[in-house]
Each structure stands twice: as C-alpha cells, then as structure tokens.
Amino acid sequence: MDKLEQLRSHNASPIIGVSRNPAKPLVLELDNTGLSWPSIGTKQRKNETDAQKQERMDKIAEAVKVIVEQLGEDPSREGMLKTPMRYAKALMFFTKGYEESLKDVVNEAVFEEDADEMVIVKDIDVFSLCEHHLVPFTGKVSIGYIPNGRVIGLSKLARIAEMFSRRLQVQERLTKQIAVVLNEVLKPQGVAVTMEASHMCMCMRGVQKPGSSTITSCMLGEFRDNPRTRDEYLKLTRG
C-alpha cells in the first residue's frame, strides 16, 4: 500500500495528513485536588520538596547551558554566567499554572444571587508560551456569562485566565478551557470568551509578520444559540 492509500485508509486528507487523535468535545478534567487538565508531571511538580524543586531547576539550567553552547555562545562569560539559572527560574514562573488548583483559584467565591443579565470582564492581559516553539504569545481576553442564580467574584475570572495561560498553550485551547471551566463552575445560561493575541512565532520567525494578531472565541449556551445575545456581547467587548 502506497502512502496515499494509507492516508485514505485513515480517512485523512493527503494535504492535512493522518489524524490519530480525532477532535473531541473539550470536557473539564478535574482531579480530586482541584487540578484542571493536569499534565503528566503536574502532581510531582506541585508536591515536591524545596530540595526537589532546586534539583528540577538545576536540570533545566544545565539544559539551557547546553543550548547556549550549541548556539555558539560562551556560557562562562560574565553576561551569560547566570543566564541558565535565570532562565530556569523564569520558565518555572511562565508555567506556574500547572501547579495551580481550580479549587484554590475559585476559593469558594461563588455566590447565590438573583441576577440574570450579562456580566463581562474585558481586556484581561494574558501571557503564555506557544507549545510549538516555546516563544511567547501575549494579548487580551474578555470573558462574559449570563448568571443562572449564581455569580462568581470578578477577580476570579482574571485568575482563571491567568491559571490556564501560564502553561504551554495554543490560543484555541486556552480560549476554550476558560469557557468550559466557567461553564462547569457556575452552570450559567451561557458563557462567552474571546481572545486577541500576538504570537512571536509569527512575528520573529517563519512568516515574520509583526503587527498581525489572532482572534479566537468560544461561545456556549445562550451565546452560541442566540445571535442577538452573541452580538450584544461582541458589541460590548469591542467598544
């Protein structure tokens, strides 16, 4: 069987290639400690001792030193001497969202309230690392929901966005994770999340198009089903 036939046998486009993981609806994964969509090493990282954390950073720093050497630089010169450990610490901060628990982030800040009108927090700054190139993408996310008898502390919307952005991410998944979590926590009439970001993997390399931005959205419930509700949200967040 030639390659084209193999592709066809997997019901895949010869242009796109073989998809071994067909898309599935994103469902909230939550373990008993409140970790949401925990990665393979999340629990180990979250529960390790100070000595184990230092060992982890030492390993990262050694790996960075190798990278610096292979780039043709001298890791022993004054300006580079502490760079491997600086970068190790920075990476741990950039990805601190892996260690954060949804339970701790929400912290019981969900309240019974006779409210059924749209709630929006817009232009929340987010910073993340593209999982394909490990370079930053930054932008703003707006989050809206229509309560169904329960509301959440406004700062928690920003904290949820922060938790998921501080991971290795793609913008499409980040947008949807925020929406799915809020939908699960509040059981509202609807949730809307929109994000606009600039990706350094497009600006600094590849097509090299600085000034370009990527917009993603995830609409659930009334925002997906009712065009007037969706239009109202979009009008309010773009203003």
10, 69, 113, 132: the catalytic one is 132
> Cα–Cα distances in Å, from 30 out to 34, 180, 224?
6, 12, 25
Cβ neighbours, 10 Å, residue 213 = 14
Catalytic site residue 10? no
Name the catalytic one among 5, 55, 113, 131.
Answer: 131
- Banded model confidence at residue 202, pLDDT cuts 50, 70, 90: confident
137 near 171, Cβ under 8 Å? yes
Q: CA 123, CA 238: separation in Å to the nearest integer? A: 10
CB proximity list for 225: less than 8 A, separation 6 or greater: 190
Residue 142 near residue 163, CB atoms below 8 Å = no
Q: What angle do CA 14, 17, 19 make, to 5 degrees?
A: 135
Instruction: Give the per-residue pLDDT at 74.
Output: 96
Separation of CA 55 from chain center: 26
**CA 175, CA 185: separation in Å to the nearest integer?**
16
41 has pLDDT over 70: yes
**Distance from C-alpha of 89 to C-alpha of 214, rounded to nearest angstrom:** 29
Active-site residue, selected from the candidate residues 48, 184, 196, 201: 201
Provide, rounded to the nearest whole percent, the portion of the chain with pLDDT above 90: 70
Catalytic annotation, pick one of 100, 162, 169, 171: 171
Give the active site residue among 73, 133, 172, 196: 133
Catalytic annotation present for 131: yes
Please name the amino acid found at residue 95. T
Spatial distance between the Cα atoms of 91 and 37, rounded to a whole number of angstroms: 19
Write down the catalytic residue from 130, 169, 189, 222. 130
User: Per residue in 149-197, pLDDT tens?
Assistant: 999 999 999 999 999 999 999 999 999 999 999 999 999 999 999 999 9
Q: What is the pLDDT of residue 23?
A: 57
pLDDT tens digit string along 55-101?
A: 999 999 999 999 999 999 999 999 999 999 999 999 999 999 999 98
Average pLDDT of the segment spanning 41-66? 93
171 is catalytic: yes
Residue 218 backbone dihedrals phi, psi, to 5 degrees: -140, 120
- Tell me: the pLDDT tens digits for 21-31? 555 666 666 66
Q: What is the 3-state secondary structure of the chain?
A: CCHHHHHHHCCCCCCCCCCCCCCCCCCCCECCCCEECCCCCHHHHHHCCHHHHHHHHHHHHHHHHHHHHHCCCCCCCCCCCCHHHHHHHHHHHHCHHHHCEHHHHHCCCEEECCCCCCEEEEEEEEEEEECCCCCEEEEEEEEEEECCCEEECHHHHHHHHHHHHCCEECHHHHHHHHHHHHHHHHCCCEEEEEEEEEEHHHHCCCCCCCCCCEEEEEEEEHHHHCHHHHHHHHHHHHC
pLDDT over threshold 50, residue 3 = no
Across the chain, mean pLDDT equals 87
Contacts of 189 (CB under 8 A, 6+ apart): 116, 145, 146, 147, 148, 221, 222
